[in-house]
Structure 1
Amino acid sequence: MKTFLTCFLFVAFTTSFAQEIYKPFAVEKEAIPKGGYALLEKFIQANQHMPYSAEVKKVKGTLYVSGVVEPDGSVSDVHVTRPLEPACDREAVRVVSLFKAWEPALKDGKPVRQEFTYSVKFSPTRTGAEPDKIVNFYDEHGNLVIDEQKAQFRQITLVDSLGYPIAGPSVYKRQDADWKLHQTDSLSVETRFVLGQKRPVADTIHLKLLAIKDKDSRYQGLQYSFYPDGALYSVELYEAGKSKGKTTCYYPNGLVRLQTDYNQAQPLEHRWYANGQVKQVATVTGDMPWETTIIDQWDSLGNQHVKLGEGMARTEFFNFRGWVIEEGKIKSGLQEGIWVGTVNGQLSYRDKYTKGKFVSGVSYGSDLDSVRYKRIAQLPEFSGGLKGMFNLIRRKIESSPDFAFKGMHGQVKVAFTVCTDGTLCNLKVVEGIRKDIDEAALQLVQETSGRWKPAVRRGRPTEVGFQIPISF
């Protein structure tokens, strides 16, 4: 009995000791964010949302949150210790709780639980926020102005309680002492398909897209995309159809996955892992995931493998064949030497680079047969070129009564796939005018089937999607 009681007390004492929460001054090494506080601050800035109710109130100030850094680097018991405003308080707790990439505190050489405190700042990010609308004023050159008396235009956008638009903005022009309707942009609710992050086979996600389009059907202002469950997928800013400001993409748990800043002379990109650990900092040089100049890169455990453009890098993305992983040397931010690519874990190719320029490569098939190539990719080509294809379509429209639609003017956008034998498949109308005209456009494109030279990627024919406009 005495032995049992002694063991019980020992276990209880050990458990109590393991769960003790230490103050920062009581440990040998304090808990710190992996990569330093500068990276944590970047994470907070990227993930923090100013609640729309706080925008309306024009809340500005700093609040403090406290919590516990656990021995595994995660956090627990995050709570506000000095509040600012209820919605801001909740947002601060949400954001700080998302970051689970800490180096834990050490005591006697072992990881222990440690208390931490962090400040989070809030300030308005939108001008003219009101409970049910956003009102902005502009001068004659379209520049935002605060003083209504100096404005020539007034823009009113109706919004819901979260600040999302529920109708296209109406623009009013000053005429003497009155404001008269000048134009109304449209609110577009669309469906967008993107590839998810599941492995080994990526899933297709159907997104709801909420966007403003101007009279020329160009994206304008903030554009929102949502996961099927309503969680935010991305926020993008457009001006006359072109990306501007910051584009931010989110994981399903609400944590930022990618943020690209287009305000820079060369767009700057930050990527994060799902635990908040920074993944990569790079400048964007093209439209594809691999078209970047890598500045810094970390693995999921916080180990830095590329620093100031030097080191061994790893990139991951999904294409039509599966999950692609590329690994190789980075020098001055550019690919150098041999880069090895695997698809779904199998060796797929070896590419040689000099100062970021592709030199040559070898691709491997399922039976490891090899093909050498001097160009990574060649787009599909119509015999006679795109100009020849459009001239052919134009002649058919003008010469055949089947395609004569008197008094009708407009454009039909047709999407299709150029298969490896040069035929076309998966034809569909993505933007139409009228059913009979849409069907005519499909027929016109179908008649070019078999006259295409297929795309080639790494020396092998491959299917590639295309989209063209047909004007009537």
Structure 2
Amino acid sequence: MKAYFSSLLFLVSYCNCVAQQDTLFLSEEWIETSKETAQFYRIETSVFTEKEMVMVEDYYLDGQLKMVGYFTFPKSQIRQGRFVFYHRNGTKASEGNFEKGHCAGDWIYWYKNGVKKETRFFETPEPTKELSQMGKVIDLWDSTGRHLVVNGTGDYQSSDDEEDYTIQGRLVNSRREGEWLGRYENGAIFFKEKYQNDVLISGVSYDSIGTEYRYKELAVQPEPKVGMHKFYVYISKNLRYPKAARRQGIEGKVFVQFFINEEGKIVDVKAIKGISQDCDEAAEKVVAGAPDWTPGIQRGQRVKVKMILPITFKIH
């Protein structure tokens, strides 16, 4: 699942005093890694205001800017404030605000050719409110500038370069209505869905050989069969702290990437950021031996899902 992305004038309101600047190298999964294996690099500038903030600039290795925005301490964990994202060719891809790590307010998106693509509105996060990270489509244009959706009403047509299919359907006041279709690049139907007032009534999708899968939920996340709490208990009880690492005082977090395949098995386990070879191997071993999961489901079909689990080694 996919699982599951300018001008710096806005710095004026924040930059009372710049403390220090750090450069980090990041993997494809946005985990800190070595320069040799990095896909991107990040420049972090500490900013002291009423709230401690970090200004973050992400770059491709060739120096092309990918993103600029602000994170709250500690260590840039939560997106907060204005963000700008860029296409690989350097044109602006999207711009908007984050509030406590969630998109909030008005966001604007552009095609690679610089033509405005769409505007969306995201509700401000509240503690007791479940948020849709899809947002409400307000306006939509095609790549030539033709206005397809006006003030939330019109015929929606997606054209996401990261997907191998397109989506089309009717929006009324930013809500999906009637039949929505997904088509592969060759024109074959991927799915058909019926909506009423933005609520999915029913859906059917098709795999590569035409098998039908019916569903009433767009996606179901994988979960341990024993439950998430017991999964963490298993990890805690079965993790072995390597003796050599303990003697040397090695502590820290190992980030373990793994996949839940279509049968719910844990496969392709790999430490993507570690602290020592023996700790990395211990973390991989405990994850690989964990009980099975229920598989992830997307539009009625079982899918392979990537997961990342941080495992902490701490000497007490």
Shorter-normalised TM-score: what interval? 0.7 to 0.9
Q: Is 1:329–2:170 an aligned residue pair? A: yes
CA contact (8 A) 1:373 1:458 kept: yes
Instruction: Determine helix, strand or coil for the equivalent of 1:271.
Output: strand
Q: Is 1:471–2:305 an aligned residue pair? A: no
CA contact (8 A) 1:397 1:404 kept: no
Q: Is 1:272–2:135 an aligned residue pair? A: no
- Map 1:277-426 onto structure 2 (within 5 A): 277-284=115-122, 291-317=134-160, 322-345=163-186, 346-397=188-239, 405=246, 409-426=251-268
- Map 1:446-465 onto structure 2 (within 5 A): 446-448=288-290, 451-465=292-306
CA contact (8 A) 1:397 1:403 kept: no
Q: Could you tell me which residue of structure 1 aligns to residue 81 of structure 2?
A: 245
Q: Is 1:209–2:32 an aligned residue pair? A: no
Output the CA distance in 1 between the equivalents of 2:294 and 2:215.
Answer: 17
Output the CA distance in 2 between the equivalents of 1:347 and 1:402.
Answer: 56
Output the CA distance in 2 between the equivalents of 1:317 and 1:251.
Answer: 12
Q: Percent identity?
A: 25
Output the CA distance in 1 between the equivalents of 2:310 and 2:7.
Answer: 40
CA contact (8 A) 1:257 1:273 kept: yes
Q: Could you tell me which residue of structure 2 aligns to residue 126 of structure 1?
A: 12
- Map 1:16-95 onto structure 2 (within 5 A): 47-48=6-7
- Quick one: structure 1 residues 352 and 402, their matched pair in 2 at CA, closer, same or farther if it must change by over 3 Å? farther
Output the CA distance in 1 between the equivalents of 2:245 and 2:11.
Answer: 52
Which one of 262, 265, 270 corresponds to residue 98 of structure 2? 262
Offset of 1:326 from its aligned partner?
A: 0.8
Output the CA distance in 1 between the equivalents of 2:312 and 2:118.
Answer: 43
- Quick one: structure 1 residues 260 and 349, their matched pair in 2 at CA, closer, same or farther if it must change by over 3 Å? same
CA contact (8 A) 1:381 1:453 kept: yes
Offset of 1:428 from its aligned partner?
A: 1.7
Offset of 1:281 from its aligned partner?
A: 0.7
Offset of 1:365 from its aligned partner?
A: 1.6
Point out the more displaced range, 298-307 or 427-436: 427-436
The one-letter amino acid paired with 1:275 is: N
The one-letter amino acid paired with 1:306 is: V
Q: Could you tell me which residue of structure 2 aligns to residue 434 of structure 1?
A: 276
- Deviation sequence 1:245-298 (CA, Å, 0-9, x none): 22111123432111122379933110112332211011136675xx12011111
CA contact (8 A) 2:81 2:98 kept: yes
Offset of 1:408 from its aligned partner?
A: 5.5
Output the CA distance in 2 between the equivalents of 1:437 and 1:309.
Answer: 52
Q: Could you tell me which residue of structure 2 aligns to residue 30 of structure 1?
A: none
Which one of 207, 222, 225 corresponds to residue 55 of structure 2? 222
- Map 1:180-199 onto structure 2 (within 5 A): 187-193=22-28
Output the CA distance in 2 between the equivalents of 1:250 and 1:443.
Answer: 39
Q: Could you tell me which residue of structure 1 aligns to residue 127 of structure 2?
A: none
- Quick one: structure 1 residues 317 and 448, their matched pair in 2 at CA, closer, same or farther if it must change by over 3 Å? farther
Instruction: Determine helix, strand or coil for the equivalent of 2:281.
Output: helix
Which one of 31, 56, 69 corresponds to residue 236 of structure 1? 69
Instruction: Determine helix, strand or coil for the equivalent of 1:394.
Output: helix
Instruction: Determine helix, strand or coil for the equivalent of 2:140.
Output: strand
CA contact (8 A) 2:242 2:279 kept: no
Unaligned runs of 5+ in 2: 1-5, 30-37, 124-130
Aligned length, in residue pairs: 282
Instruction: Determine helix, strand or coil for the equivalent of 1:302.
Output: coil
Output the CA distance in 1 between the equivalents of 2:156 and 2:280.
Answer: 47
Offset of 1:403 from its aligned partner?
A: 11
The one-letter amino acid paired with 2:299 is: R
Provide the TM-score with structure 1 as the length reference.
Answer: 0.54
Output the CA distance in 2 between the equivalents of 1:265 and 1:389.
Answer: 30
CA contact (8 A) 2:239 2:282 kept: no
For CA contacts below 8 A with separation 6 or more, give which structure has more relative contact order: 2
CA contact (8 A) 2:251 2:275 kept: no
Output the CA distance in 1 between the equivalents of 2:179 and 2:45.
Answer: 45
Output the CA distance in 2 between the equivalents of 1:265 and 1:387.
Answer: 29
Point out the more displaced range, 439-448 or 346-355: 346-355
Output the CA distance in 1 between the equivalents of 2:89 and 2:242.
Answer: 56
- Quick one: structure 1 residues 317 and 405, their matched pair in 2 at CA, closer, same or farther if it must change by over 3 Å? farther
Unaligned runs of 5+ in 1: 1-46, 51-123, 129-134, 138-154, 158-167, 169-186, 195-204
CA contact (8 A) 1:417 1:463 kept: yes
CA contact (8 A) 1:211 1:220 kept: no
Offset of 1:324 from its aligned partner?
A: 2.6
- Deviation sequence 1:191-225 (CA, Å, 0-9, x none): 2428xxxxxxxxxx9322223589xxxx9421111
CA contact (8 A) 1:207 1:225 kept: yes
Q: Could you tell me which residue of structure 1 aligns to residue 32 of structure 2?
A: none
Instruction: Determine helix, strand or coil for the equivalent of 2:195.
Output: strand
Q: Could you tell me which residue of structure 2 aligns to residue 156 of structure 1?
A: 19
CA contact (8 A) 1:223 1:236 kept: yes
- Quick one: structure 1 residues 354 and 402, their matched pair in 2 at CA, closer, same or farther if it must change by over 3 Å? farther
Output the CA distance in 2 between the equivalents of 1:126 and 1:341.
Answer: 44
Output the CA distance in 1 between the equivalents of 2:166 and 2:285.
Answer: 40
Instruction: Determine helix, strand or coil for the equivalent of 1:249.
Output: strand
Output the CA distance in 1 between the equivalents of 2:289 and 2:263.
Answer: 15
